[in-house]
Amino acid sequence: MIHHLIFTEKSIALLEQNKYAFDISNNITKQQIRLFFKRYYSLHLTKINTYILARKKRRVLTSKGYRKTKKRVIISLQSDQSLPSEFYSR
Predicted confidence at residue 24, as pLDDT, reads: 92
When pLDDT is averaged across residues 48-77 and rounded to a whole number, the result is: 91
What is the CATH classification number for the domain harbouring 27?
Answer: 3.30.70.330
The HSE-up count of residue 39 (CA atoms within 13 Å, CB side) is 6
Q: Which domain holds residue 18?
A: 2-87
- Domain count for the chain, please give it: 1
pLDDT in tens, 26-56: 999 999 999 999 999 899 999 999 999 988 8
Residue 3, C-beta contacts closer than 8 angstroms, at least 6 positions apart: 22, 23, 24, 25
